[in-house]
Amino acid sequence: MEIPNTRRERARRRRAVADTVLDRLGLFERWRPLGTPLLVGSVALDLVVEPDIDMEIYSPAPSVADGFAALVPCSELPGVRKLRFANALDLADRGLYWRLDYEFKPDETWTIDMWWLPDDHPGPRAADLVTPVRDALDDQTRDAILAIKEGALTRGEATQGVWVYQAVLDHGIRTYDEFLAWQASTPTTDVLTSWRPHRD
C-alpha cells in the first residue's frame, strides 16, 4: 500500500533538484534585468512529479533579441543540451517562448519552459493560478494530486497539471482511474484556462 508521506517526500526531493537546476543555470539572475521572473506550475506548488520547470517573465515589452542575449550563454553551460524558441507575440499566447533541456544526470533530463509575456497580457496566466491553488491545498489533496500524476507517469500517459488540480480540488477525484473517468466527460484539451479552485 502506497504511503502518502512517501509521495510527498518524493515531491520534496524533486523540488530540491529543480531548485538546484535553476541555481546552476542562473535563470532568475539572467531574467531579472529584463523583467519580473516568476516560478509557476508544479515546482511553484511543490507538486513535482515530472522533471519539468515552468517560468513566466513579465515586462512592458518582451524582446526577442534581449531574450536570446540572456539565454544563449546558457548553451555553453555543462549539461545544457538544447535551446528552443517560438515567437507567439502575434498569436493567442501573446508571448515569447524559450525551452532549455538540461541533463541533470545521464538518465535525468529536465526541461525548463519560459514564457516572456507583456505586463498587460490578458490571460489566462499561470502566475495567477499559483496562490489560489496553493491556498486550497491540504495534505489529502496534495497526496491525491501526486498519486494521479505518478499514475499517469507510470502508464506513460501525458496529463496537464491544471486539470488534475481542478479534478481533485473541485470534484473530489482521488485516484488516477477516477481522474481518467472524469477527464473522459470533461473538455480538457485547452491548456489555457481561467479556472480557479472553488472556495466555500
* Structural domains of the chain ordered from first start: 4-122 (3.30.460.10), 129-184 (no CATH)
* pLDDT attached to residue 126: 92
* pLDDT attached to residue 198: 78
Contact 71, 53 (CB under 8 A): no
Tell me, rounded to whole angstroms, the distance of Cα 142 from its chain centroid. 16
Q: Which three cell numbers stand for residue 119?
A: 505586463
Q: Which three cell numbers stand for residue 105?
A: 544526470
In the block, residue with C-alpha cell 485516484: 175
pLDDT > 90: percent of the chain? 81
pLDDT > 70: percent of the chain? 94
**DSSP SS3 for 32:** coil
53-57, 58-62, 172-176, 187-191: least confident range? 187-191
C-beta neighbour count of 73 within 10 angstroms: 13
* pLDDT attached to residue 150: 94
* pLDDT attached to residue 109: 98
Sign of the dihedral defined by the CA atoms of residues 129, 130, 136, 137, in that order: positive
Helices (H), the chain: 4-25, 27-31, 41-44, 64-71, 127-136, 139-154, 161-171, 176-184
pTM over 0.85: yes
pLDDT in tens, 104-150: 999 999 999 999 999 999 888 999 999 999 999 999 999 999 999 99
Contact 25, 112 (CB under 8 A): yes
Mean pLDDT of 18-43: 97
